[in-house]
Structures are given as structure tokens and as C-alpha cells.
Amino acid sequence: MTELVSSGYKGRARELLEQGGATVGSLVKVKGVDGAETSGLVVPRYEHADPEHVVLKLKSGYNIGISVENIQSISVVEKSPTVSTFGQVSAILQQAHGRPKGKTSDKKLLLISTGGTIASRVDYRTGAVHPALSAEDLYSAVPELGDLAEIFPEVVFSVYSENLTPSDWQTLSNSILAKSRELEQKKKGRADGVVVMLGTDTLAYVSAALSFSLNGFDLPVVCVGAQRSSDRPSSDAALNLKAAARFAVSSGTEGVFVAMHESENDDVIAIHSGVRVRKNHTSRRDAFESIDVSYEAHVIGNEIKMRAQDVIPVGDSSTKSEADLAERFRLKTSFNPSVALIKFHPGFDPMVLDYYTRRDKPVKGFVIEGTGLGHVSSATVREIGRLSKEGVFIGITSQCIWGHVHLDVYETGRDLIEAGAVPLENMLAETAFAKLSWALGNFEPEQVKEVMLTDIAGEFTQRIALVGRRNS
Amino acid sequence: MTELVSSGYKGRARELLEQGGATVGSLVKVKGVDGAETSGLVVPRYEHADPEHVVLKLKSGYNIGISVENIQSISVVEKSPTVSTFGQVSAILQQAHGRPKGKTSDKKLLLISTGGTIASRVDYRTGAVHPALSAEDLYSAVPELGDLAEIFPEVVFSVYSENLTPSDWQTLSNSILAKSRELEQKKKGRADGVVVMLGTDTLAYVSAALSFSLNGFDLPVVCVGAQRSSDRPSSDAALNLKAAARFAVSSGTEGVFVAMHESENDDVIAIHSGVRVRKNHTSRRDAFESIDVSYEAHVIGNEIKMRAQDVIPVGDSSTKSEADLAERFRLKTSFNPSVALIKFHPGFDPMVLDYYTRRDKPVKGFVIEGTGLGHVSSATVREIGRLSKEGVFIGITSQCIWGHVHLDVYETGRDLIEAGAVPLENMLAETAFAKLSWALGNFEPEQVKEVMLTDIAGEFTQRIALVGRRNS
């Protein structure tokens, strides 16, 4: 019974499982004290989880925890020797239970996997989570996807998202375009949308990067992640993925979006703009929030509800013709890795900027998160002035997260402007970093400032004088 | 009439002022279309403000904007040649109107000024804001303070808060203690509380720093700032300051707090814990939010409402005796400037850590804002391992802002722990940075880890497994 111990079951839950001869991975029938029966696969417990529940993976793909108080007995329906992936779990469940064949949709979805929790499994030896599931695995684990669209899965990476670099964003952008073309050329027909499965840690950086590199792409691209891995109780993977797929094939939009839980409940999935979203909580399922704007849409069950257009994104684009915008910024997929994102802090050492510009591959541009309206210390202003003269781009955002930078209110700000720093309105720091890498990757150095200040993907929201607004 | 142009008045507002012969700084009487009369000083307009209002500073210290539509005429009561500070404005108003003497309180308040918007004036030539008001000036500008307590004002600095360094935190801490002792020794009696006026940009860093350096100090210390300078319309300076003073002299608490607007309305001032607060908006008056906890109290008019104790701060302190805590951590006011706060980002160059530890004054400790639960790239993990072996302290927080770091969920996290990184629970990055500077300033290197993980000032909140909670 060491499997049960190592998989986190203790106390009464462990006793009940042992009495029934069940181990992790067994297909069991749980008889409740009220006589009701529930069938499912025994899922390992997270090591810090409370010991008073037995967790089953149901046929639907959802996991439920059943309190030991409500369990009369547990009996084994089928004992499987090792179960290590959600996909395998699901395959076994499908085999055991059969699955009603839904009508196949005539929509086509390109499903890209890069790694991350949504495509992860738990290492039952250590309890840690590994990126290991392929898009196929996950597709087979969420069979309802087949009712939404014909799925064309592709694995581009299988890494933790904290290891993805701007160069990987380029690979990812090109892969999405190539796979989409390939699908069309093979006469399988045109895809209706793209879903990209990502780790949530850097999902907002990647969604911002794709928003620029895939500008002009005529399909919606929906980035999606999960805060709890697929084989854990209360995973948000299946619901997020289904909503992302539904929005991708049925919304009739273009652009890059992020689909994640709107609240801790399993009902509403929020669709955010890829350039205005941020991971604002380490662990909650509703960790992602739109900043200074509303969400773009809600997916509730089978329904897509687009939000009312109460916020009009503006920027320099108002002075550009649509054609000009479309042409100059269309499907430029290069990213320059010679960029850095710096958070200013009290006592910040400005010579770190100097280090960056003197290293082997010198940094060509910085995004600096200033304090408040975008301020940095006087010593940092001087260093910025020096580097700016050498042609290094320095964009200013705020570590406040919400609101606009304004460098015309205080002396420090005016000095910063004079030193050559470029205030980036209310562009999120993460978005500004991705955009700068893209701008330096596709345009001449002297064009970078203008590119950074042009609203390409809705990265600026309406400027509201000194009084900002929070997310409604 | 160039004064009017340069001070922002345009259109109908300018016409009305010109007709009455009034300039900025004039004491005027505005006759409304309804016949009502309002007296006050003409205040300069912010350059981006709408041109449809004339702004007056009233006797109370508040500014009001009167719509040109409601103005019948403007007449000059007294013309003052130049008016450059709130204090002078107020002095003139007091002279012109007289001020009813309230009963003097028997409370004593130490009022420390360091600069920042709350102690600023507008440069009417450029429109920029300068830190220029002394505590005396501000006190004379908010005469109601005199009804709350006898005020002992002290100017410690007069700088923009982005220029304050950890060394300045030490000076500030020592000044507060010295001034407090001085007051007592001069037989003027003991102060009841301390208010520290700070720039909002780094106010949360400073409040965190003081929370550690003044641990064991038996008076409440209330940090207060303003988002709009005192001589601008809708300044929050007076209300924040009055609430801070009231809380400082009447709450009967100890510890370090932050007093700022609870909402955009001029009614409720929130009192936050000095270690759990963050500036989350660049410009709103309610920019400050308590993170992962509730506010500590509300000040509404004359009333102080302490919040119900629904969140119990826990930490390693549970294993320490109160006496031990009090003794070891009592009034240690040193700060070590050899610290850095780093925000990890995709493609982050780990050699920047190496730069910091090899510069002239090598960094002895880092706080790193990882992604999500506290992750960084594999290359960064390796560099952390190397530096950790050399005795450099590396604490991990999250750039998500809300929620706990957990380095036991994913492989990367476990690798980080093995490399010697120290997960800092849900301590805010800014608080962790201030605490690390303090820990390295007052304790031996081998004690720093334990000090960082000990809950000294409520910097950790109840650990809530994988499911975090947001500010209620």
C-alpha cells in the first residue's frame, strides 16, 4: 500500500481505500452513506491536501472530492497498474465507461501545446508537477472538445513557461502561421481559430508578444492555461480549454485573447485582451485580470457574451490610416532578445543599466517600471540620459500596475523626458517588454519610439487625464 | 494677464477672471447665477484640466471648482502679488477671513516632513510640482490640526521620495526616535503619536522599513501622503493628514500604519498596515490597497472604526516568546544598502545577479519577484545556487502581487529551494526588500534567513494552502 501513502492519502480516506483494495489509478465505485454510487478513477492527493476526502476523476473529466464521512464503502471495478497522465486516465475511463459520440462539428481548431500546468502531470514520486502532456493527450482527456470542432493538435514546446524566451515567442509565432498554412494546403480546409496552451506564469507576456507578431492574422488566437494541473481535484484545465476552443472557433473575432476563470466558480470564463491582462494572484483560478479595461467577452456554458464596447482604445493610431497600420505592422514575427525589464526601487543602482549595455550581447532597449507616475531617482535619470544619447531605447511604465504614467507633473518626470525616456502611457510593463522586443526585432532603431507609441493591438486605453479608472 | 494663461485658465473661465481683474492668488468673491456668493483664493489650473471651471481655495483649506455656467461675476476682495505655497495661501485666507479658535487638545503629535506631494507646491512657471512645504507650512495650511493635538513639526528631508534610499530610512528612523525623546526631555511631555508625511511613490517601501526599524516603539507611527498637491483642486492632502493625525493621537495602538483615501470620495480614510500595503494606481486618490488582508481601520470624520480581527497574522513568531521577539528585534534602526530587488522576466539575464555581487559595494542579498508561485528560469536557478553558496541571501516573492509563493509544487520551485533560495510566503516584494535591508543591517549573515522568515510586524498573513484570498 505504499502507493497510497506516497500519493497523499492518510487517515480514514486511506483506510477506506485499503479496505476496498483500491490504489491510485483504480477504477472504483464509491457507495455513499445515502446509498448513492459514484464511479471514477482514484486520483492522487496533493501532499498538503486535507486527509478527509477521497478524490475521483469522473467520466466527464472533472475531479470531485468525496468526504470520508459520506462514504459507506469503496469497491474496485478495475485495477490499472500505473496511471501517470490525465490522457491515460481519461482513455481508461472512456474504455471503462464508453463515451457517447456527440455530433462532430464542421469547425476546425488548431490546438497548440507549449507546456505549462494545463498540459502537465503530477510526478507521483515527488508530488511535483511536470509539463508532460501532449496536445493529443489533453484532447483525449477533454473529449468534449470533439463536439466543438475537429481538432488539429500540435506540440511546439514542452517546457515550463518561465523558460520561454523572446526567441521562443518567435518560434511559436512562426509555428502558428506555418501550421495554419499547412492545414489549408493539405486541403483539409481552413482553421476557424487557434488555441495556444501555455503556462500561466508567463502567459500574459506571451499573449502580448503574439498580439504584435500575429497582428494581421485573420484568425482568433486564444491563449489558455490552468492554475491546477489536470489530474488534481478542482482543476480548471478542462473548463478553460473548452471555453478557449469555443471562443476560438465561434466568436468570429480576430486578435489575440486570454481565456481563464472569471471567478473561483466553475461557471464563467473571461476572455481578456492579450495586451491588457495580468496574472494578479499566485494560485487562484481567477488569477488573471484585465487592467484598466473590462474583459472582452464571457463564455458561459455554450454561450459567448461579448461585452458592450464601453471603452474605446485610442492612441496614435487615430492619425494612421488603417491600411498603413495593416501593412507596416502585419505579421512581423521577429523578436529581439536584447531587451530588459527593470523594476526601479529605493537605492536602485543605475549602473546595472550600464552593465546591460556592455555585456556580450548589449541590450538595445529597456522597459523601466518607475514608481507612481513613472519616476526614478535623479542618479538613474542621469544614466538614462547617457544611454539614450547612445541610442538605447528607454520606455517608462509604472510598478503601480493600474493607471497611466505622467512625466509632466513632477520635476523628476520632466527631467526624465529631457533625458530621452519615453513614457508609455498605461501600457502594462509586461506588454511593453514584449512589444519592445518585437519592435527591435522588426524595425530600424530610429523607428522604435514611434512604433512603441503607436496603438497596434489595443495596448493603450483611453487616456483619462490625471484621474485613472480601475477595472470595472 | 499672462499669469492667467500660464496658470491654465482658458476660454470663459479666463474671461470671467479678466473681467473681474483677478489673477491667480487673488482673494475673490464669486457671485453665482443663483445669487449665492463664494469667497476664496484663485488657484492655478492644472494644464490638462478642463477649462470650464474656476477653482477657489476655501477658508477650510479645501479647493472647489465652480462651473463657469453657474458664475454671474467675479470681484476681487484682495489682490496678492505672488502666492506660491499652500501655507501662504492659507495664511492669507486666515488673515482675510479670520479663523475661529477651536479648543486646544491636550494631545501631542510629532509631525515629520520628508517631502512628497503632500508637502509640495506647484511651480507656476513650469506647472511642475516641487517638494517645498515645511511641516510648519502644512500645519498652518490645515489649521484644524490644532484642534486635534498640539503639533510639533520637524522637517527631516525635503526630497522627492524616489530619491530616498535605505540609508535615508535609517536617518528617518533615528530622527523619529530622537525627536520623540527630545520632546519628552524638554518636559513638554510625551507625544501621543507620530505622523510622517511622505511622497506616495515610495511610501509603502518606507512604511515597511519603519515597521521593522521602529518595532518596539510604543507610539503609533502613521505614514501619510497625497496624490494631488495641496494647492490643486481636489487635493487629498488635508483630509489624509487630518485622519492620520487623528489616528496617531487617538487610536491607542502601536505599530506603523499608512493613512490614505479609501475611495475617490472625500469621506473615508483607510488605515493600512505598514507592511501589507501597496500603491496600486498611478494617480487615483485611493491608490493604496491592503494586499491579502483587510485595512486596519477607517477614519470617518471624527470617528475611528477599527476593523474586526478576521485575519490572524501567523508566522514563525508562534514558536517565539513575546519577550524574545521584543528583545531581539526591538528598535534596531540600521539599514544595509547592499540589497537589490529584481523582477524576473522571460529571457532574464542571470548574470545581472553576478554583476551586483561583484560591484564596488557588493550586494549581500536579493529579493527576486519570480513568476506565478515564485518561479525563475533554469539558468537563473543555477546562478542562484552559485551565489547562495557564496553566502548571498536570495529571497523569493511573486510579481503576481496577491497570494503566496509555493516552491514545492513544480520542479523549478524544488530546484530553487535546493539551490538555496528562500520562499518568502506572501510577503510583499517591497516589504521584503525593506526587511532584507534591515535584516542585513542589524544581524549576522547566518541569522538573516531566520529573521526574514520570522513574522515581526504582521508581514505574513495566514497561510491558506493553495487557495489564496484576495483583499476583501
Contact A354, A384 (CB under 8 A): no
Residue A27 belongs to domain with CATH number: 2.30.30.520
Say how far apart CA A93 and CA A109 lie, in whole Å: 25
**pLDDT grade, residue A186 (50/70/90)?**
confident
Q: Does residue B35 sit in the same domain as residue B113?
A: no
The set of cell numbers assigned to B84 is 506660491
Greater model confidence, B61 or A33: A33
Rounded Cα distance between B112 and B156, Å, is 7
Check whether residue A259 and residue A239 sit in a common domain: yes
User: ipTM of this predicted complex?
Assistant: 0.78
The pLDDT value given to residue A428: 98
Q: Are residues A374 and A331 in the same domain?
A: yes
Q: Are A130 and A270 members of one domain?
A: yes
The one catalytic residue in A117, A202, A412, A461 is A117
In terms of domains, do A400 and A320 share one? yes
pLDDT of residue B99: 39
Helices (H), A34-129: 86-97
| A201 given a catalytic annotation | yes
Residues contacting residue B355 through CB under 8 Å, at least 6 positions apart? A352, A355
- A16, A35 in Cβ contact below 8 A? no
Do A40 and A100 share a structural domain?
no
Using a CB-CB cut-off of 8 Å, the residues of chain B touching A413 are: 128
pLDDT at B216 over 80: yes
Residue A378: closest C-alpha in chain B: B163
**B284 reaches A (C-beta below 8 A):** yes
Q: Confirm if B242 and B62 have CB atoms less than 8 A apart.
A: no
**Residue B141 lies in domain:** 89-306
* A263 at interface of B, judged by CB pairs closer than 8 A: no
CA A185, CA A180: separation in Å to the nearest integer?
9
Q: B26 and B58: one domain?
A: yes
- Is B118 in the A-facing interface, judged by CB distances under 8 Å? no
- Which residues of B does the annotation mark as catalytic? 117, 200-201, 279
Set of cell numbers at residue A38? 459514484
Chain A residue nearest residue B205, CA to CA: A346
Inform me whether the C-beta atom of residue B344 falls under 8 Å from chain A C-beta atoms: yes
User: C-alpha cell of B326?
Assistant: 521584543
Cβ <8 Å between A162 and B205:
no
Task: Indicate yes or no: CB of B465 within 8 angstroms of CB of A48.
Answer: yes
Whether B339 and B226 map to the same domain: the answer is no
Q: At what angle do helices B411-419 and B378-389 cross, to 10 degrees?
A: 20
Residue type, A233: P
Given CB atoms, is B128 within the 8 Å cutoff of chain A? yes
The shortest C-alpha distance from B77 to chain A (Å) reads 31
Distance from CA of A459 to the nearest CA of B (A): 17
Give residue-wise pLDDT tens across range B248-264.
Answer: 999 999 999 999 999 98
Does residue B398 sit at the A interface (CB-CB below 8 Å)?
A: yes
The widest CA-to-CA distance across chain B, in whole angstroms, is 78
pLDDT reported for residue A14: 86
B171 touches chain A (CB under 8 A): no
Last residue within a domain, chosen from A306, A341, A367:
A306
| Alpha-carbon gap, residue B436 to B430, rounded angstroms | 10
Q: How many CB atoms lie within 10 A of CB A454?
A: 21
B278 assigned to some structural domain: yes
Q: Which of B201, B205, B336, B344 to mutate to test the interface with A (most CBs of A within 10 A)?
A: B201
What is the helix (H) or strand (E) element at residue B180, kind and residue range?
Answer: helix B166-183
Residue B340's CATH number: 3.40.50.40
Shortest CA gap B188–chain A (Å): 36
Q: Are residues B194 and B267 in the same domain?
A: yes
Q: In which element (H, E) is residue B355 found?
A: helix B351-358
How sure is the predictor about A47, in pLDDT bands with cuts at 50, 70 and 90?
A: very low
B465: how many CB neighbours lie within 10 A of its CB?
Answer: 12
Measured CA to CA in angstroms, residue A385 lies from A394, A416, B292, B370 at distances of 9, 8, 39, 29
Instruction: Tell me the pairing of strands A108-113 and A71-78.
Output: unpaired
Q: What is the mean pLDDT of residues B418-438?
A: 97
Contact A47 B408 (CB under 8 A): yes
Mean pLDDT, rounded, for A127-143: 62
Q: Supply the pLDDT for residue B249.
A: 96
Higher pLDDT, B132 or A375: A375
Task: Give CA–CA dist A101/A376, Å, rounded.
Answer: 61
Q: Are residues A62 and A112 in the same domain?
A: no
Q: Which residues contact A314 (CB under 8 A, 6 or more apart)?
A: A455, A460, A461, A462, A463
Question: What residue type is assigned to position A64 of the chain?
Answer: I
pLDDT exceeds 70 at position A365: yes
Question: Quick check: is A82 catalytic?
Answer: no
| Residue A350 pLDDT | 98
Question: Poorest-confidence range of A172-186, A332-346, A366-380, A449-463?
Answer: A449-463
Residue A157, CB-side half-sphere exposure with 13 Å CA sphere: 23
Q: Which domain CATH number covers B207?
A: 3.40.50.1170
User: Is A1's pLDDT higher than 70?
Assistant: no
Q: How many residues are listed for chain A in this entry?
A: 472
In the structure, what pLDDT confidence band is assigned to residue B132 with cuts at 50, 70 and 90?
Answer: low
pTM of the model: 0.79
Q: How many CB atoms lie within 10 A of CB B471?
A: 14
Average confidence (pLDDT) over B213-224: 96
Residue B316: beta bridge partners? none
In this structure, are B96 and B79 located in the same domain? no
**Partners of residue A116 in chain B, C-beta under 8 Å:** none
SS3 string, A283-328, reads: CCCCCEEECCCCCCEEEECCEEEECCCCCCCCCHHHHCCHHHHHHH
Which neighbouring-strand residues pair with B224? B197, B259
Q: Is B62 on the interface with A (CB under 8 A)?
A: no
Given an 8 Å threshold on Cβ–Cβ distance, is B400 in contact with A341? no
User: From the DSSP assignment, how many helices (H) and strands (E) are in chain B?
Assistant: 14, 21
| A85: pLDDT strictly greater than 90 | no
B283–A404 C-beta distance less than 8 A: yes
Q: Are residues B156 and B141 in the same domain?
A: yes
Average pLDDT, chain B: 83
Quickly list DSSP for A366-415. Answer: EEEEEBTTTB--HHHHHHHHHHHHTT-EEEEEETTSBS---TTSBHHHHH
Query: Which residue from A283, A373, A408 is facing B468, i.e. has the nearest CB?
Result: A283
- By C-alpha distance, which of A204, A38, A57, A60 is closest to A122? A57
- Which residues from chain B sit within 8 angstroms of residue A373, using beta carbons? 201, 282-283
> Last residue of some domain: B37, B56, B83?
B83
Q: How does DSSP classify residue B390? A: T
